[in-house]
Structure 1
């Protein structure tokens, strides 16, 4: 004889589910193929939309850094535009061309341009011109942008920086070296890299057809003329192009 106990003692698990979740939880309706496709499409489009928003935000940030925002970030093109406008108004300037931008780091740029000057200017007018160009560079310089230029007076090329006095000295050195017999052209600026106004960072390159003893004599005079103004400056020679 088997003892099963009272009927009420047996636990019906379905009653527990019904009490907790309701009577319709025994079966969950599976979504149809169309519903699954629609849900998948919505999720995919959501990811695409988020990706587009992120791309636009990143593009805006990068563009702001490159072009400048509110004077905080460098604005190299704006600096070039200001210099070009000011330089073009300087008496004796024929053209401003060959503009160049160099990026040294995330927030540091160098911009430069070639200024063609009239070959008919007097020595005093040449000095006035390079001083005015230096002032124009100083006005455009700043906020992570270094502005420089090279002024071309026929066979003389003079580097222009924001220091008007050093710029004038470069012109004077170029004239002195150009006056040496056998010299046909002179460039007076700075060495490779960023513009510098330090005496030993200056560079003078002369063009001459002289060779041998004649070249040695020319270089000796050129070094004396240069080092009298810029001690430690580099003096080199080349054949005329």
Structure 2
């Protein structure tokens, strides 16, 4: 009696069954058999996942694009400065202050590849009290701070009548200029004071400050006035330049 074993004759229950190789397996060796075809449900599920992935990627790209466009419009780290826009924002803030009569803008000054200084002249009503003038100057300094940035520094000169005071985003330095202008205006023979910066451009550096005292004094009187003004000015701003000028009227 002959019993068929594995690989001999017909198949028997309990014996391992031979796996019939398809054409790919026979042609290229084991492991290369054709992949089973997915059923419709599997294809729909895969397509849905692909669509969801595409939508998510598109959403992320849209957010990034909007952010980039907004950054370019508003300025990014000094790469895209907008000096005119800064001037306009400062002007709007200044004009909203009680006692401000006029705001005049100067042409922006390019200080480096992507940096600008902008300066405005703010005329303040001469009828304001000292406290009201101080409040206006402080508010202008805050406005300069709010509108500076993205490669643009905002400055202004507040025309308070007999006094002209440089205004910057640094409130402390701005208040020092105002206090010094009042102090020098109290010197006998002085009829007006301008306390801001030199012709080199706006700056908060002590040595870059420029003070001009208006006086009709001449000779020894003029020398005494300028000497006292220089002493008091350099006590606040070491290295500051002090000059005199005849009153404009």
| Residue of structure 1 in register with 2:82 after alignment | 75
After superposition, give the CA deviation of every residue in 1:101-136 in whole Å (9 maximum; x if it has no partner).
112233111111110001112222111111100110
Structure 1 75/222 Cα, relative in aligned 2: closer, same or farther at 3 Å? same
* Unmatched tracts of structure 1, length 5 or more: 1-67
The question of 1:87 aligning with 2:91 is answered: no
- What RMSD over aligned residues (CA atoms) do the two structures have, in Å? 1.4
After superposition, give the CA deviation of every residue in 1:126-156 in whole Å (9 maximum; x if it has no partner).
1111110011011110111111000001121
The question of 1:137 aligning with 2:141 is answered: no
Shift of 1:91: 2.0
8 Å CA contact retained: 1:100, 1:113: no
Tell me the secondary structure at the aligned position of residue 94 of structure 2.
Answer: helix
| Residue of structure 2 in register with 1:104 after alignment | 111
Tell me the secondary structure at the aligned position of residue 100 of structure 1.
Answer: coil
- The equivalent position to 1:126 in structure 2, one of 95, 109, 133, is 133
8 Å CA contact retained: 2:216, 2:246: yes
Structure 1 152/144 Cα, relative in aligned 2: closer, same or farther at 3 Å? same
The question of 1:213 aligning with 2:217 is answered: no
Shift of 1:70: 4.5
After superposition, give the CA deviation of every residue in 1:28-87 in whole Å (9 maximum; x if it has no partner).
xxxxxxxxxxxxxxxxxxxxxxxxxxxxxxxxxxxxxxxx64422001111011100111
8 Å CA contact retained: 2:185, 2:193: yes
8 Å CA contact retained: 2:87, 2:105: no
| Residue of structure 2 in register with 1:222 after alignment | 229
- Structure 2 CA distance, aligned partners of 1:172 and 1:216? 23
| Residue of structure 1 in register with 2:17 after alignment | none
The question of 1:232 aligning with 2:236 is answered: no
- Structure 1 CA distance, aligned partners of 2:127 and 2:152? 33
| Residue of structure 2 in register with 1:113 after alignment | 120
Shift of 1:100: 2.5
- Structure 2 CA distance, aligned partners of 1:172 and 1:193? 23
Q: How does 1:1-241 map to 2 (within 5 A)?
A: 69-72=73-76, 73-241=80-248
8 Å CA contact retained: 1:118, 1:153: yes
8 Å CA contact retained: 1:158, 1:187: yes
* Unmatched tracts of structure 2, length 5 or more: 1-71
What TM-score does the superposition give when structure 1 sets the normalisation length?
0.69
Deviating more after overlay: 146-155 vs 88-97: 88-97
- Structure 1 CA distance, aligned partners of 2:222 and 2:148? 40
What is the total number of aligned residue pairs between the two structures?
A: 174
Shift of 1:208: 1.0
